Structure 1
Amino acid sequence: MSAAPDTGLPGPKAPGGVGPGLSVVVPAYNEEARLRPTLDAVRAHLLADPGRWGEWEVIVVDDGSTDGTARVAREAADADPRIRVVTGTVNRGKGYALRQGVLASRGRQVLLSDADLATPIDELDHLHQRLAAEGAGAAIGSRALPQSRIEVHQRWVREFLGRMGNRLIRLVAVPGIRDTQCGFKLFDGDRARAAFADSRLDGWGIDVEILRYFRRAGWPVTEVPVRWSHIPGSKVGPPAYAGVLVELVRLRTRALRRTDLLVAGLFLLAAFALYRGLWADLDRGYLADSGQDQNQWEWFFAVTADNVAHLRNPLFTTFQGAPDGVNLMGNTVMLGVSVPLTPLTLLCGPTVTWALVLTLGLAATAASWYWLFARRLVSHRGAAALGAAFTAFAPPMISHGNAHPNFLLLFMIPLIIDRALRLCEGRDVVRDGVLLGLFAAYQVFLGEEPLLLAAMGMLLFALAYALVRRDVARRALRPLLSGLGIALVTCLPIVAFPLGWQFFGPGSYSNVLHADNTGNGPRAFLEFAGRSLLGSDERADLFAMNRTEQNAFFGWPLVSLSVAIVIRLWRQSLVRALAVTAVAAALLSLGERVRLPYTDIVVPGPWRALAEAPLFEAVIESRVALICVPALGILLALTADRLLLTGDRPLRAAGLTAIALALLPVLPTPYPVRERPEVPAFIAQDLYRPYLARGESLVTVPLPSPAGADALHWQSSTGFGFSLAGGYYVGPWGPDRLGIYGASPTHTSNLLTDVGHTGRIPDIGPALQEQARLDLKSWHAGAVILPPQHNERALRTTLTVLLSDPGVRVGGVWVWDLPESR
């Protein structure tokens, strides 16, 4: 055997006779006519330069052919013992055949070549040169590079569909590689055998599966331009690309571990257990601590479904706040779920949608955090499950689970965090930037305030991590900024019009008026929430705005454990950054003014610096403490991971016991449910219709407001046959268009509210009667109704004098017809 020429490239000679230097694997199914010319061409090329290729072998895999393919292969093997035949009894697919051939190979390099030799065998030289020169794990022939030559084209329709299929595969599976499906590939032999041994697909998708394996392993893959010709009778066509996508979906499904499915199932079971009272009575069940928010949210789901069903603008409605209407984009209608769930809402009613969004939202959020923690944070699935369970079921989350699904349905936040981390790695900035932009746009339609808080938390963490790891920050800065720019360009066209409508459209407002001090008290972090195992409503009510805003309440055992974890793991850069993030968020959540515990001293709070900034001016500052939730969840997951993987059994037992004792007091308890009042027959039986002309509104007494919004339930549960004056929503008030909860108050609405609260009948003269007439006219009122309620007699007397009409009893309510306004 002649010596190899001195080319400067390492040749594929086998060391010490252990095996051949090159293995050529040719899968064949019903290739009787084409196989022998292909084998002759391969053999001639390898024999033409024996010094270069050294010992070689050709492995033909007959994939259960029904023609003479196996006979042709055996005849070639008889003529040259370097040709081996692997025969299958049934057709299993190209992927199965390639796997059998590669695993049977012994070469230092392995070439895959289709039996039709659409890529000529002499292109092997180019692949070999690139493989050796770049030190790659694989050199794959590519028809998509500018230097490639397509010598015989397919029909244009077939070629177009093939290109579209290839682009879709690249997008969802192997971005950065232009041609995944060309059958001409040269691999490092050992790496190829490792990858194919791990493969599971039997069809066309194995090309993608192998390339994904190489990418995960960090083995470089280089694309090489080749000559290619369409061969009549080729089995690769547009349906093959669809088959690849189907196989990839199946692969992803099979990749789920049973543990992952079990954890997701437990999350769903836990969420259902918390809301079991609501599910037990969907007709009359009402979350007791939700205030009027359940009425409001069911109305949001119902009005969105009604708008979609009637092809109306989903960003606006006049069914509340008549006649001015409500800017729905300026309210948390969660179009990202309310629109897709329109069929369910129309078929089953908004209460079913409400219960489903709460239950599945809580479980989906937990599963998403679990995915992120298992993917990036810890090795032990149990540790990931523990951290995710706390992050989703922490006391602040459970508090918002009473009434705020926009703060419960946070499954996009872990996906956004993961995509931002990918940008820092800089592997595929364009793709990751586009996906980040799409994820952020979708989150806008789930909840803007959670997205803002998530961005705050990520920024605090990034700054803290950059301080402790400047080297990592320098490497990540450029791809991160580039990716964020791409994300912004992707996101803005999607959200520009809805956000423009929100801030400048009808019913828009400039700011939201909250209470004077909506920050957390310092002691709130050490207390237990009302829905925690060791908490009580009476105690928690002392430290929170209401039962839906218990945004701290982690409890002193968990806070103490977290401090101990930080001290123990302080050397880890991640832990230091998390500690800084959590402390900064906790301080910001104290608000503009902080009362020092056990004193009357009030000092300026850190939130003062942001209180008047755009966007932040509408944030309830106590909610900034929600940033602490994932930070504590990560600390718990890191600690549990170290404990579960340690060989020190006493340490593991002591550590896990400490975690259990810290978490036990804050375990969530089921949400209490009360019975909702029935809808009056006047509404349920459509008795109101003769009283309302087109364009007229119904005035309920008192008018619906954040203090009482049962009228929204009457409306949403009976199909929006009328509009309401007043309402429970965020809308503009005054010349500065400040955002307030509910419609702008009037003299008449205030008067009726006062009577309803106190039972005292005021002195009503001509001035108040005239004011009532003007207010009713401004509401386009067609009728006034008084449903049964506390202080009903005082309210009826007031209305009788105010309207100079005793009213009539119809369908369980008192009715005052207003024909003069028509």
Structure 2
Amino acid sequence: MRAVDEVVEQPAVPSAAPAPVTRRADLWSLLSYLALAVLALSRLWRDPDGRVLSLNEDDHGVFLFFLQHGERVLFHGDNPFFTDRINVPDGVNMMANTSVLAVGVPLAPVTHFLGPAVALVLALTLGLAGTAAAWYWVLSRHLVTSRVAAWVGGLWCGFAPTMISHANGHVNFVSQFVVPFIVWQVLRLREPGRVWRGGVILGLLIVLQVFVNEEILLFTALTLAVFVLAYGIMARRESLALVPRYLAGLGVAAGVAVVLLAYPLYVQFYGPQHYEGQPFLPEKYVTDLLSLPAFARQSLAGNAALAEKLSVSATEENTFFGPAGLVMIVVSVIMLWRSVAARATAIAGLVLLVVSMGPWLRVANHQTPIPLPFGLVSHLPIIDLVSVTRFAMVAATVAGVLLALATDRAGDLPERRRRWFRVGLVLALVPLAPKPLPVVPADPLPAFISQGMWRGYVSEDRTLVPVPLPEVTTGRAGVRWSALTRLDVRTPRGYFMGPANPPGDLTGSWNAPRRFTTDLLWRVRQYGLRPDLTTTDRRRIEADLIYWRAAVVVLVPGSRNGDAVLATLTDALGPSREVGGVRLWDVRYLAVPPPG
């Protein structure tokens, strides 16, 4: 069996296994990944239109919108980098959001004919299975000789607890099927004659990943940088000869990527509704040290109460390797220690894991006074746009690669040690098997929306204003109604990333800038207390409705403290009408400025 260092230093040798056996193993591996992905999403598959992921209803709704946006790009020629369908009149910078254009546009026919809910569950399923399959392909063709070892690596990389937790709505983070090919193309730049061809291929892969998710691309670049640096230090003599070749290939890749991404990135960082930084401090969302040997809530052996104390949220359980899993990762590193490439890989994973712990070490949900290196770089540009705990996703993927390499190496161990390794592998993998993701019934669409009654009130240049107003965690109906009507319903505000209060404050925010009416109605919904409106209050409400280009104001059925909200709106706008299962106020009498 060839050493890992040989793989880094020269092209891989094809497997000696007979072709029919190899193809059969490949087929069964891919089918097993697909079956496991369907199992993880099985509850949502049973009724995509009538259910939502209960652990992340907000992102479930916003990715319905993003996928429908991809459909409009392909079928209606909408601007891929900006939308005016929500947050009217300001719109949303789609390049500055996780709009997954590289997923949404290819799935546009599914969205067009079957709806965004089916496209969403399909995207999540293919994201999990596709990531596992991509790692299996790269591992089996280039890094290991055993198909079993490649299958183990793909299984871990595609279905580790971090991937299953992000499958609660994060299409962008489960769709990592481009990453293995980026990694392999970077490694292949060492080969003679790969500068131009390899550079162009790498550049195109980078462009593709940008339109899947830029955070994952950043993590991949940082990991490869640490790997190359560590490998170069440990194997200086061999590495120095490769430096010119690598720099030339990376230069070609950068040139291709810059040319193709110049305009999209300009829109993202300087276009309308761009923002700077995140709406939270780096130390708020970090990896807890004790989460490493713990089980995630969606693992077979998981405990939800314990996982909740050790994680940022149900969608950010980025470690949770389990005790046996953590032991097997350490065992794998020990088995591979003589390999410089394996050591460099382990170092890269460890460095990104430490970075994910933030500026101060957190243990058992308590911040200790122990400083960590991230504090030195937390405010650097680009780094300040990242949720820190997500750096641990690198450690999870690196663990999968190391397990695959160690499983391949285990074939050379004495029988007894080989048997113990297999037992340890089973004890590590089985408890981490994913449970089906939990779902809840989706709020039914009122007939006013589902039967298109709204079209009789809302023209193309006006909006439907749902109450509660669309915001993150509240007013989910606005973005969901827009998505489920093919974005024909235009609404103000919404759940997206944009500037907090431009032009003075460009800090990233999950909400549109505050206005009088949003604050007023939020307090009524939250506390159930009806305010005494003055003439000035009513004028300010009308001014907000004019700004939002409102045609109708609609009270969402079943809203919290709905009676108090209804009374407040009646006081402000007069009597309502009941149409199609909703209470609405027709405000088309308000004169709005011309569009644009």
Task: State the TM-score, normalizing by the size of structure 1.
Answer: 0.67
Give the match for residue 266 of structure 2: 500
Give the match for residue 750 of structure 1: 519
**Greater Rg over alpha carbons, structure:** 1
CA distance, structure 1, for counterparts of residue 163 and residue 176 of structure 2: 10
CA distance, structure 2, for counterparts of residue 477 and residue 621 of structure 1: 31
Give the match for residue 348 of structure 1: 114
What are the superposed Cα offsets for residues 348-371 of structure 1, whole Å, 9 maximum, x if unpaired? 111111111111121111111011
Q: For 2:175, what is the secondary structure of its paired residue? A: coil
- Cα shift at 1:645: 4.3
Distance 1:633 1:618, change over 3 A: same
- Cα shift at 1:254: 8.1
Distance 1:639 1:216, change over 3 A: closer
Q: For 2:152, what is the secondary structure of its paired residue? A: helix
User: Structure 1 counterpart of 2:447, which letter?
Assistant: A
Number of equivalences = 572
Q: For 1:670, what is the secondary structure of its paired residue? A: coil
Give the match for residue 560 of structure 1: 327
CA contact (8 A) 1:509 1:738 kept: yes
Give the match for residue 6 of structure 2: none
Structure scoring higher RCO (CA < 8 A, sep ≥ 6) equals 2
CA distance, structure 2, for counterparts of residue 712 and residue 271 of structure 1: 27
- Cα shift at 1:436: 0.5
Give the match for residue 176 of structure 2: 410
CA contact (8 A) 2:52 2:439 kept: yes
Give the match for residue 286 of structure 1: 52
CA contact (8 A) 1:732 1:739 kept: yes
Q: For 1:329, what is the secondary structure of its paired residue? A: coil
What are the superposed Cα offsets for residues 158-200 of structure 1, whole Å, 9 maximum, x if unpaired? xxxxxxxxxxxxxxxxxxxxxxxxxxxxxxxxxxxxxxxxxxx
CA distance, structure 2, for counterparts of residue 532 and residue 545 of structure 1: 17
Please, which of 247, 263, 266 is the counterpart of residue 29 of structure 2? Answer: 263
Give the match for residue 146 of structure 2: 380
Give the alignment of 1:352-367 within 5 angstroms. Answer: 352-367=118-133
What are the superposed Cα offsets for residues 244-269 of structure 1, whole Å, 9 maximum, x if unpaired? xxxxxxxxx98962111111111111
The yes-or-no answer on 1:433 pairing with 2:203 is: no
Please, which of 779, 795, 800 is the counterpart of residue 570 of structure 2? Answer: 800
CA distance, structure 2, for counterparts of residue 376 and residue 785 of structure 1: 58
CA contact (8 A) 2:288 2:365 kept: no
CA distance, structure 1, for counterparts of residue 363 and residue 416 of structure 2: 41
The yes-or-no answer on 1:653 pairing with 2:419 is: yes
Q: For 1:545, what is the secondary structure of its paired residue? A: coil
Please, which of 523, 538, 545 is the counterpart of residue 776 of structure 1? Answer: 545
The yes-or-no answer on 1:535 pairing with 2:302 is: yes
Q: For 1:292, what is the secondary structure of its paired residue? A: helix
- Cα shift at 1:636: 1.1
CA distance, structure 1, for counterparts of residue 82 and residue 365 of structure 2: 48
CA contact (8 A) 2:328 2:403 kept: no
User: Structure 2 counterpart of 1:546, which letter?
Assistant: S
User: Structure 1 counterpart of 2:69, which letter?
Assistant: V
Distance 1:680 1:497, change over 3 A: same
Structure 1 stretches of 4+ with a deviation exceeding 3 A read 215-218, 253-256, 593-605
Give the match for residue 8 of structure 2: none
Give the match for residue 630 of structure 1: 397
CA distance, structure 2, for counterparts of residue 307 and residue 637 of structure 1: 40
CA distance, structure 2, for counterparts of residue 503 and residue 752 of structure 1: 33
User: Structure 1 counterpart of 2:350, which letter?
Assistant: V
User: Structure 1 counterpart of 2:294, which letter?
Assistant: E
Give the alignment of 1:89-104 within 5 angstroms. Answer: none
User: Structure 2 counterpart of 1:744, which letter?
Assistant: P
CA contact (8 A) 2:276 2:507 kept: yes
* Stretch of structure 1 that moved more, 387-396 or 424-433: 424-433
Structure 1 unaligned blocks of 5 or more: 1-214, 219-252
What are the superposed Cα offsets for residues 7-58 of structure 1, whole Å, 9 maximum, x if unpaired? xxxxxxxxxxxxxxxxxxxxxxxxxxxxxxxxxxxxxxxxxxxxxxxxxxxx
Please, which of 272, 281, 284 is the counterpart of residue 517 of structure 1? Answer: 284
Give the match for residue 7 of structure 2: none
Give the match for residue 585 of structure 1: 352
The yes-or-no answer on 1:812 pairing with 2:581 is: yes
What are the superposed Cα offsets for residues 67-103 of structure 1, whole Å, 9 maximum, x if unpaired? xxxxxxxxxxxxxxxxxxxxxxxxxxxxxxxxxxxxx
CA distance, structure 1, for counterparts of residue 37 and residue 362 of structure 2: 36
The yes-or-no answer on 1:710 pairing with 2:506 is: no
Distance 1:261 1:387, change over 3 A: same
Between the two proteins, what is the percent identity of the paired residues?
35
* Stretch of structure 1 that moved more, 422-431 or 688-697: 688-697
User: Structure 2 counterpart of 1:716, which letter?
Assistant: A
- Cα shift at 1:550: 1.3
Give the match for residue 759 of structure 1: 528
Q: For 1:531, what is the secondary structure of its paired residue? A: coil
Distance 1:599 1:694, change over 3 A: closer
- Cα shift at 1:813: 1.0
Q: For 2:189, what is the secondary structure of its paired residue? A: helix
Give the match for residue 244 of structure 2: 478
CA distance, structure 2, for counterparts of residue 352 and residue 449 of structure 1: 26
What are the superposed Cα offsets for residues 333-361 of structure 1, whole Å, 9 maximum, x if unpaired? 11112112222211111111111111112
User: Structure 2 counterpart of 1:763, which letter?
Assistant: D
The yes-or-no answer on 1:729 pairing with 2:499 is: no
User: Structure 1 counterpart of 2:524, which letter?
Assistant: V
CA contact (8 A) 1:277 1:671 kept: yes
Q: For 1:509, what is the secondary structure of its paired residue? A: coil
CA contact (8 A) 2:470 2:493 kept: yes
Give the match for residue 613 of structure 1: 380
What are the superposed Cα offsets for residues 752-783 of structure 1, whole Å, 9 maximum, x if unpaired? 12222222223333343232122222111121
CA distance, structure 2, for counterparts of residue 771 and residue 702 of structure 1: 18
Give the alignment of 1:14-413 within 5 angstroms. Answer: 257-413=23-179
Give the match for residue 741 of structure 1: 510
* Stretch of structure 1 that moved more, 303-312 or 722-731: 303-312
Give the match for residue 236 of structure 1: none
- Cα shift at 1:308: 2.8
CA distance, structure 2, for counterparts of residue 275 and residue 598 of structure 1: 30
CA distance, structure 2, for counterparts of residue 290 and residue 599 of structure 1: 25
Give the alignment of 1:448-463 within 5 angstroms. Answer: 448-463=214-229
CA distance, structure 2, for counterparts of residue 460 and residue 556 of structure 1: 27
- Cα shift at 1:694: 4.1
What are the superposed Cα offsets for residues 142-167 of structure 1, whole Å, 9 maximum, x if unpaired? xxxxxxxxxxxxxxxxxxxxxxxxxx
CA distance, structure 1, for counterparts of residue 265 and residue 366 of structure 2: 44
CA contact (8 A) 1:699 1:783 kept: yes
Give the match for residue 5 of structure 2: none
CA distance, structure 2, for counterparts of residue 798 and residue 295 of structure 1: 28
- Cα shift at 1:271: 0.8
- Cα shift at 1:531: 0.5
CA distance, structure 2, for counterparts of residue 685 and residue 819 of structure 1: 21
Task: State the TM-score, normalizing by the size of structure 2.
Answer: 0.92
CA contact (8 A) 2:359 2:371 kept: yes
CA distance, structure 2, for counterparts of residue 596 and residue 360 of structure 1: 35
CA distance, structure 1, for counterparts of residue 546 and residue 556 of structure 2: 21
Give the match for residue 191 of structure 1: none
Give the match for residue 3 of structure 2: none
CA contact (8 A) 1:727 1:742 kept: yes
Distance 1:752 1:269, change over 3 A: same
CA distance, structure 2, for counterparts of residue 411 and residue 302 of structure 1: 22
Distance 1:326 1:598, change over 3 A: closer
Structure 2 unaligned blocks of 5 or more: 1-10, 592-596
User: Structure 1 counterpart of 2:544, which letter?
Assistant: D
CA distance, structure 2, for counterparts of residue 611 and residue 418 of structure 1: 29
CA contact (8 A) 1:364 1:411 kept: yes
Cα RMSD after superposing both structures = 2.1
CA distance, structure 1, for counterparts of residue 589 and residue 104 of structure 2: 39
- Cα shift at 1:582: 2.1
